[in-house]
Amino acid sequence: MPVMDYTVTLLVDYATIIARIGDVEVEVWGFVMPWGSSVWLSIFGTLLGILFVVTALSLAVGDFRNTKYFGYLRILLQQDMSIPDDRRWERFIMISWIIIIWVLTQVYSGNLMSLLAVRYLPQPYQVIEDVLRDRKIGMIWESNTAYIQTYMNAKTGKLAEVGAADRAGRIKHVNAQLLPEKLETSVFEGDYVMVIEVLTCTIMLAEHFSKTGNCYFYIAKERLMPFMFAVGVQKNSPLRGALNRRIRSLVEAGIYRQLIKAAIPNSTRCIHAPTTVTVRSSLSMSNLWGIFMILVLGTSTGLVALFAEILGKVIIRCVNGRVMTDGKN
């Protein structure tokens, strides 16, 4: 028989992942980022449209001999080319294409100079599945909580997978008093992530920032297992109605969350850790090897096509020579 009643919900909290921010990385494909995917698609779509127009006009005049199909691609790649003097309509199309590419190139170069100064801070574990897939990383959960009981009793879904990981020895259960120590050792070293409720996470990050002045950790996007916090009173207690009215007033006015922020110094400093930083440094091969890889792949493809063409001509000559020999015999 129940002997306790609960008031209306004072706070809904969730479990979340807190992990170490990765070391600064260079985005080797940063040279494609000055333009968004829609701009790239528009450029190549326009190029195909121009080639279609050139083909249609060439059909109209009945002359394919001097059509510079690859000239438009060479303009996009900032290479030289010539325009036939007797094709005024093609000169107009090509000059229009040159103007478009010139404007886009100026925008591209300006954005590229800005993006080369950007370094990315990896935050790889955003959902619990990311942690489960990485067998090299362990998890730390607070011991003797409803969260552990929930995932250990789960039969299906990702919580059941967390329970399986616990039985496989990938999860450490740690007392609440030792969580800040584990955050600064096991999680800081990158061997573990911690799964705790958001409020506790906020307190630990605030204390860590007050101590070090840095945000070495980030909070994942996913929220797991919501739990409602309320005040417990005796069954049929007259206090329940009075507490409900006051709790609703505090929550609806936002006073309770404001009180939490006021009670935790630096509570918001590391909640939204940056994913990028701006640096001043000279370029190195780590910045540029993606560009050179495209150059090598393009050159290799061209050489393969050249050798295939030469080999095809040699085979055709050999076949023709054999046919002529057999005919004479």
Other CB atoms within 10 A of residue 270 CB: 23
160-169: average pLDDT? 92
Other CB atoms within 10 A of residue 293 CB: 12
Give residue 192's pLDDT.
93
Higher pLDDT pick, 29 / 308: 308
Asked if 20 and 43 sit in the same domain, the reply is no
Q: Tens digit of pLDDT for each residue in 168-189?
A: 999 999 998 899 899 989 999 8
Give residue 325's pLDDT.
64
* Lowest mean pLDDT, pick from 96-100, 206-210, 318-322: 318-322
Q: What is the 3-state secondary structure (H, E, C) of 100-160?
A: HHHHHHHHHHHHHHHHCCEEECCCCCCCHHHHHHCCCCEEEEECCCHHHHHHHHCCCHHHH
84-91: average pLDDT? 66
CA distance 195 to 152: 15
Q: Check whether 217 has a pLDDT greater than 60.
A: yes
**CATH value at residue 261:** 3.40.190.10
Mention every residue, 6+ apart, whose C-beta is less than 8 A from residue 52: none
Asked if 134 and 178 sit in the same domain, the reply is yes
The chain-wide mean pLDDT, for the chain, equals: 81
Question: In terms of Cα–Cα distance, which of 269, 271, 277 is closest to 210?
Answer: 269
Task: Extract the tokens encoding 208.
Answer: 């860590």
**Domain stops at, among 117, 148, 174:** 117
**Domain stops at, among 63, 86, 117:** 117
Q: How confident is the model at residue 259 (pLDDT cuts 50, 70, 90)?
A: confident
Asked if 9 and 141 sit in the same domain, the reply is yes
Higher pLDDT pick, 68 / 39: 39
Give residue 195's pLDDT.
92
Question: Contact at 8 Å (CB) between 278 and 118?
Answer: yes
Asked if 94 and 155 sit in the same domain, the reply is no
Question: In terms of Cα–Cα distance, which of 202, 203, 205, 204 is closest to 215?
Answer: 205
Q: Check whether 247 has a pLDDT greater than 80.
A: yes
Q: Check whether 164 has a pLDDT greater than 90.
A: yes
Domain of residue 71: give its range. Answer: 30-117
Question: In terms of Cα–Cα distance, which of 244, 230, 233 is closest to 4?
Answer: 233
CA distance 31 to 112: 6
203-222: average pLDDT? 87
Give residue 17's pLDDT.
92
Asked if 251 and 130 sit in the same domain, the reply is yes
Other CB atoms within 10 A of residue 284 CB: 9
147-169: average pLDDT? 90
Q: Check whether 328 has a pLDDT greater than 60.
A: no
CA distance 113 to 127: 34
Q: Tens digit of pLDDT for each residue in 7-29?
A: 988 888 888 999 998 766 666 66
Asked if 175 and 49 sit in the same domain, the reply is no
What is the tally of structural domains in the chain? 3
Q: How confident is the model at residue 80 (pLDDT cuts 50, 70, 90)?
A: low
Asked if 156 and 233 sit in the same domain, the reply is yes
Asked if 147 and 126 sit in the same domain, the reply is yes
**Domain stops at, among 237, 253, 278:** 278
Asked if 144 and 11 sit in the same domain, the reply is yes
27-49: average pLDDT? 78
Asked if 45 and 144 sit in the same domain, the reply is no
302-312: average pLDDT? 86
Task: Say what percent of the chain tops pLDDT 90.
Answer: 13
Asked if 56 and 173 sit in the same domain, the reply is no
CA distance 59 to 79: 27
Q: How far is CA 113 from CA 38, 109, 189, 318, in A?
A: 21, 6, 34, 54
| 3-state percent breakdown (helix, strand, coil) of the chain, nearest 5 | 55, 15, 30
Asked if 296 and 250 sit in the same domain, the reply is no
Give residue 319's pLDDT.
74
Q: Which SS3 state, helix, strand or coil, does residue 20 take?
A: strand
